[in-house]
Structure 1
């Protein structure tokens, strides 16, 4: 039998391949040989997959065994070593609470009275409980040291003689419990006139309907590379936080997690559009004071544009007209929220540095710190940090909302014309 065709050298590890042209016949032996080579390729591929799977299993088992061996070295110690660790922890805790006059406030950023009150509240509400090896006091002390000083996990491991996994686990547990206190220690502003306004002739009766102050602040954020551009603003990669507070420096509303590049008014829109109790509450006839990054509309009064506003601009100068006088008193009252931000960041240094936690955890940390701020203010009003004079670095370069023709009022449903008329009424007021 005559065989016509060509033997071509192709892929597959240098093996030859016989390719049949249309209408040509192939010897049966060649067909069988080609089929055998295909079977060899399939078997080789199966062997490669099997080897890869075995390698992955071996690697996983090795890692597990190493982790178990490490834990075994930590946990399987002699009785004397266990006693020594317990003694060292107790000695460390005594130094924190009783070392010197303000050692407790320096280490966990609150005085002993407030700390033990926090322990009591956590236990009473079932948010935290003693475990076999770690009591609530130690859980809170580790958490407060981390948020108060942005202490690294390895430092806490050394100070409390705990594994890194234990420190991380209880940090997340306390963080979740802290946000469980939010409804108890952060309530939206009431309708009543705050005492700080009612008892001050510079503010009353001019701001008698003011129930609070709103402003935004930025906290450094660490995000995946594909999200960095969204969060990069003129202050770097940050999250934009909207907060409302009363003149006595208590937070009444906090919305965290917005991109640092977002405009303050856009964040306020989000707060107003959320259903209660998750949105910012605005009462009829009452209002918040806000800076030039917002606009005057029902529920919010901003300063006059193109008029001296910041307190340092009024230093040594007497107001020349009613607009300058209004801006001076507006700035004086609204500066309370700037002071509140200063106290918050001064107490919890984790808000002033880049965090290594996932972004949802970074948002929860901000909320937890504001709850702790309110807790300390209510339970220990004489706290030194809460009452210290914080230097306020006012951002005079902040963007202003000059064009408010397209602003929308979320408190009621109106036409554009009605909404514009209402805003003009508030401007006149």
Structure 2
């Protein structure tokens, strides 16, 4: 009963952010004005699950038997959307489509590897800052799992209740952060999860966005439009970067 009561608070504590630019972006010259229209970050995490033997193959992955949790959070690490209890028969990478800007494909390095090093081109620079901003959701996942240890165990409850536990934990996470922004666990970077830094194929023209009622040609045009927007952001970022650090020389390698 308590679990269901907490989930009933989702509308109050898991809600879309206002249209105002997040302060975490406005107050950081690495992000503003390039990501001024960013309302949040999306990613997925895995939570250990216990399932009937006939369902195990559907939820079996490289991290064991888990429920795949898709979430979106704000730059201040508040969850605004959570979809738990699902599994996917597709690649985990996200294409650049309407409303989503992914980093350039084929640019590979860990966020911490280039600390203090100069980016060689606009793709690396965008990737670095994109990953830096997106790491907020990795940090939110890390804090969530550290605070609620039940998410790192295999709970012996019916699977629908396991899903509810994930949702309830995200509600409580937001409640704690809202009531106590100085919370020790929330501000401890040691709880961050690392970004994988996986490389995906640049050619995503074969990917179709089934959430949009469009023809394949219209989807391709929409995808190209958002890729152009990504290019514009990367170029503006690159020009400002070298105006500050290399006397306006914008040569790339």
Relative to the length of structure 2, the TM-score reads 0.84
Q: Which residue in 2 is equivalent to 1:192?
A: 20
Task: Answer yes or no: is 1:232 the counterpart of 2:32.
Answer: no
Deviation at 1:307, TM superposition (A): 1.1
Counterpart selection for 1:348 from 148, 172, 197: 148
Which residue number corresponds to residue 184 of structure 2? 384
User: What is the CA distance between 1:305 and its match in structure 2?
Assistant: 1.1
Give the corresponding residue for 1:182. 10
Select which of 276, 301, 310 maps to 2:110. 310
The within-5 A match list for 1:315-354 is 315-354=115-154
Residue 49 (structure 2) pairs with residue 249 (structure 1)? no
Secondary structure class of the residue paired with 2:40: strand
Does residue 1:211 correspond to 2:63, yes or no?
A: no
Is this contact kept in 2: 1:215–1:242, CA < 8 A?
yes
Give structure 1 stretches of 5+ with no counterpart.
1-172, 266-292
2: CA distance, partners of 1:391 / 1:424: 37
Higher relative contact order (CA 8 A, sep 6+): 2
Question: SS at the partner of 1:390?
Answer: helix
Shift in CA distance, 219/398, structure 1 to aligned 2, threshold 3 Å? farther
Structure 2: how far apart are the matches of 1:334 and 1:311?
11
Where do 1:383-402 residues align within 5 Å? 383-396=183-196, 398=198, 400=200, 402=202
CA spacing shift, 1:383–1:391, aligned 2, 3 Å: closer
Q: Which residue of 1 aligns with 2:204?
A: 404
Paired residue secondary structure (1:240): strand
Change (3 A) 1:262 1:346: farther
SS in 2 for 1:374: helix
Distance change in 2, residues 1:400/1:361 (3 Å): farther
Is there any run of 5+ residues in structure 2 with no aligned partner, and where? Answer: 230-253
Taking the aligned partners of 2:79 and 2:89, their CA distance within structure 1 comes to 22
Shift of 1:354: 1.0
Is this contact kept in 1: 2:111–2:132, CA < 8 A?
Answer: yes
Contact 1:311/1:328, CA 8 A, preserved across alignment: yes
Partner of 2:247: none
Q: Deviations over 1:117-148 (max 9, x none)?
A: xxxxxxxxxxxxxxxxxxxxxxxxxxxxxxxx
The whole-number CA distance in structure 1 between the counterparts of 2:42 and 2:109 is 16
Q: Which structure features the higher share of helix residues? A: 1
Q: Deviation digits for residues 258-308 of structure 1, max 9, x if unmatched? A: 12x64465xxxxxxxxxxxxxxxxxxxxxxxxxxx1111110011111113
Q: What is the aligned partner in structure 1 of residue 163 from structure 2?
A: 363
Contact 2:71 2:83 (8 Å CA) reproduced: yes
Give me the CA root mean square deviation.
1.9
- 8 Å contact from structure 2 (residues 39, 74) kept in 1: yes
Instruction: Quote the Cα distance in structure 2 between the aligned partners of 1:341 and 1:383.
Output: 15
Distance in 1, Cα, partners of 2:134 & 2:30: 13
Contact 1:245 1:337 in 2 (8 A): yes
Partner of 1:156: none
Confirm or deny: 8 A CA contact 2:107 2:124 kept in the other structure.
yes
Q: Give the superposition deviation at 1:401.
A: 5.9
Relative distance call for 1:315 and 1:397 in structure 2 (3 A) is closer
8 A Cα contact 1:303 1:327, kept in partner: yes
Classify 1:263/1:240 alpha carbon distance in 2 versus 1 (closer, same or farther; 3 Å). Answer: farther
Question: Secondary structure at the residue paired with 1:407?
Answer: coil
1:379 CA drift (Å): 1.3
